[in-house]
Structure 1
Amino acid sequence: MEFDFLSPVETNLIIEIKRLSSQHLSNKVVFHTQEDFPDIAKVRIAIIGVPDHRGDQTFAKESDLSSIRLNLYNLFPGNWSSTIADLGDILPGNSPDDTYFALQKVVSRLIKNNVIPIVIGGSQDLTYALYRGYDNLEQMVNLVSIDSKFDLSKQDDSSLADSYLSKIIIEEPNNLFNYSNVGYQTYYNSQEEIDLIEKLFFDAYRLGEICNSIAIAEPVFRDADLVSLDLTCVKSSDSGNFVNFQPNGFNGKEICALSRYAGISDRVSCFGIFNHQGSLQETALIAQIIWYFIEGVHYRSNEYPFGSKDNYIKYTVPTEEEDVVFYKSDKTERWWIEIPFFANVNNKLKKNTLLPCSHDDYLAACNQELPERWWKAQRKSII
């Protein structure tokens, strides 16, 4: 059984959590204990800890996930109905590959059972294991990383956490359809890496772009399967991480807003939080990030995939090259743009020809300016 890789939540911690009032989030959570394991068939969201930092040697100490759990379960829930389970931890294996294997198996099983894993990790190379969890699901994967770096370094001269994306791109089976970075900082990425992102038709948004208008990130998350959050993208004055000091980055409000976008996306089926150093300030922030993700999940509108286009208004915009079709939801007023299907090529988008976009993208198209993401998706579909 895949769940044999999971160690139960510490008994002393559960005793402390159970002392909280019935109004706290802890009362809505079922725990993996020494005596009992949650019924996965009744669970919508599962929290898993993976305190393995061996992919990044800069960590000062191992993660204390107990502090994160205490902060999280001390919060009050929203008007939530779904069952949340804390499945405990996947302890570090004899090698990082052992940890990857265990995490891959657990995540794959949960996703197959329509359970959304929230993984509180050690180093961000664990994203590779989350990605591999989709191997047996017969689908292409869209990965979104909230990160100041692209993590495309060469595997032979860097830590695993700095090169996991290279590993994802190179290794077979290659199920990656698209990678999007939200919040990269140019001075942390070589020009070679930036050029490669462009060459592969991946999407990347600078920190300044997102901070100037955080809503532009919403369509990116709407098209994601897997979201990986590197906590070093939060500036140290907000995260309390002074081991790897970050003078610039997202503030607490912005990172929680991005987490809510990830949760509210009908398509996101796995969320990982990595690279935390364990300060009291950071553990409190992680708890709130998780809270906002869960809040988002409970407000999903179930608009993906499209079952019928009856509830959408169709807009056709004539351009110099071709007519571009947009759809607007009557329910949420969110927008999609149609990607042309080329019948004479091996089109990877046969099952999904609609790309999430914004109202601003529609207005730009009316002025003969098509979204860059649309161009990239179109080119990618004919490769």
Structure 2
Amino acid sequence: MNFTFLSPVSDLVLAHNELLSTQALGRKLRIHSAQHGMPDLDGVKIALIGVLENRNDINYIGEEFQLHEIRKSLYELFPGSWTVAVADLGDISKGESVEDTYFALKTAITELVKKNIIPIIIGGTQDLTYANYRAYDDIVPMVNIVNVDSKFDLGDSAKPIKNNSFVGKIILEEPYNLFNYATIGYQTYFNSQEEIDLMDKLYFEAYRLGQISKDVTVVEPVLRDANLVSVDLGAIKSSELSLNQKYSPNGLDGKEICAIARYAGISNKVSSFGIYEYKPSKDDEITSRLVAQMIWYFIEGYNFRVKDDDFSDESNYQKFIALVEEQELVFYKSNKTGRWWIEIPFLAEVNNKLKRHTLLPCTHQDYKDACNNVVPDRWYKAFQKNCV
């Protein structure tokens, strides 16, 4: 892999790493350094990439930033009982234009995903999600995006792309590869009624902050079905973050965002994970530590991945049928993990691009609701997307 556009991890961070315990995570990573160059990626399953791009911030004032504190915080952590090899490939610096940065990031993600290496992207503004999405153009026919954010970030696609309006470009730009877009942790007062109505009209999914605070497990199925997950640190409440990072008194807490990161890691389908809108400040320790712990939980989740979605062998699952409004809903429960799926009828026959969406992750509660004559919301939206 020739990633000439990736700059090595700074000597400052590497010097800090040398002082750590030999059991620390930083001492076990394969690190891109100026002295040794790009590490051997043979056997690597997860790779960190920093992206120092923030020019599409709606409040951009020309400031530069680095990711040193995040790396120090991450390197200091101790790994779990992991078998996975992890690399830190360094940073993508700002290109001549934002589009140049997009191209470099897209190229890196495409190469890594094709080699079954999951990139963890640390940014930078969240419009980098657009480049992440475009990296899948030649990899999978249809893409599911999960955005952990207090806003939908739909924006006006006719205007230049910004960190609060990149989703409109993803939806409307060819090739049309987006199947589902889901927002986790949105707060109603940060979104116009027009945007809320549009999300509903497009049969996209949205999980309010209150739903997650009540029961964070409700988002596991949508993360199980995601290809890429993008996290805006603005979705986290101010009390959990450093001075420059503070955005809203309400938001996800540290435990919830780490649980979401673990769900993303444990998903067999998630093949890229991004954390964006990082803004360093003098009292930066809290944000950098939280980002490091999110990455830790993602890696932890990856180590507990179980191939439980093979339904060709009847001994792997139990099948349940519920009758809802004269419609048979077929559910599958994995014998390995206890996770649930629901069948979307005729999906593969209508559109060959959507073959792999015929089984949709769901919850046990969805099955219980169906038994009580309630159509699961995820099933309804996926079925409607199939029909239009």
Q: Which residue of 2 aligns with 1:20?
A: 20
Name stretches of at least 5 consecutive residues in structure 1 with no aligned partner.
none
Q: Does the alignment pair 1:42 with 2:43?
A: yes
- Per-residue CA deviations over 1:223-254 (Å, capped at 9, x if unaligned) read 00000000000011011245553111001111
Give the Å deviation of 1:153: 1.2
Superposition TM-score, scaled by structure 2 size: 0.95
- Per-residue CA deviations over 1:33-85 (Å, capped at 9, x if unaligned) read 12331222321100000011111042574332011000001001100011100
Q: 1:343 to 1:95 in 2, by over 3 A?
A: closer
2:66 to 64, 82, 102: 64
For the 8 Å contact 2:136–2:143, the answer to whether it is kept is: yes
SS at match of 1:161: coil
Code of the aligned partner of 2:227 = D
For the 8 Å contact 1:201–1:377, the answer to whether it is kept is: yes
Give the Å deviation of 1:342: 5.2
Instruction: Find the aligned partners of 1:299 and 1:328 in 2 and give their Cα distance.
Output: 18
Instruction: Find the aligned partners of 2:109 and 2:171 in 1 and give their Cα distance.
Output: 20
Q: 1:228 to 1:74 in 2, by over 3 A?
A: same
Instruction: Find the aligned partners of 1:382 and 1:136 in 2 and give their Cα distance.
Output: 25
Q: Which residue of 2 aligns with 1:364?
A: 369
Instruction: Find the aligned partners of 1:343 and 1:291 in 2 and give their Cα distance.
Output: 37
Instruction: Find the aligned partners of 1:309 and 1:286 in 2 and give their Cα distance.
Output: 41
Code of the aligned partner of 2:52 = P
Q: Does the alignment pair 1:210 with 2:215?
A: no
The alignment yields a C-alpha RMSD, in angstroms, of 1.7
Give the Å deviation of 1:158: 7.2
1:128 to 117, 130, 148: 130
For the 8 Å contact 1:341–1:349, the answer to whether it is kept is: no
SS at match of 1:314: strand
Q: 1:308 to 1:130 in 2, by over 3 A?
A: farther
Give the Å deviation of 1:303: 2.3
Instruction: Find the aligned partners of 1:347 and 1:321 in 2 and give their Cα distance.
Output: 27
Name stretches of at least 5 consecutive residues in structure 2 with no aligned partner.
none
Give the Å deviation of 1:8: 1.0
Q: 1:107 to 1:151 in 2, by over 3 A?
A: same
Code of the aligned partner of 2:345 = P
Q: Does the alignment pair 1:298 with 2:303?
A: yes
Instruction: Find the aligned partners of 2:137 and 2:338 in 1 and give their Cα distance.
Output: 34
SS at match of 2:3: helix
Q: Does the alignment pair 1:79 with 2:81?
A: yes
Q: Which residue of 2 aligns with 1:95?
A: 97
SS at match of 2:329: strand
Instruction: Find the aligned partners of 2:366 and 2:209 in 1 and give their Cα distance.
Output: 20
**Matched ranges for 1:181-196 at <5 A:** 181-196=183-198
Instruction: Find the aligned partners of 1:24 and 1:150 in 2 and give their Cα distance.
Output: 37
Instruction: Find the aligned partners of 2:175 and 2:24 in 1 and give their Cα distance.
Output: 43
Code of the aligned partner of 2:113 = I
Q: 1:86 to 1:93 in 2, by over 3 A?
A: same
- Per-residue CA deviations over 1:352-382 (Å, capped at 9, x if unaligned) read 3110011111100000101111011011123
- Per-residue CA deviations over 1:133-192 (Å, capped at 9, x if unaligned) read 101114210000000001111145676101110010111111111001001111111111
Superposition TM-score, scaled by structure 1 size: 0.96
For the 8 Å contact 2:236–2:257, the answer to whether it is kept is: yes
Instruction: Find the aligned partners of 2:347 and 2:231 in 1 and give their Cα distance.
Output: 35
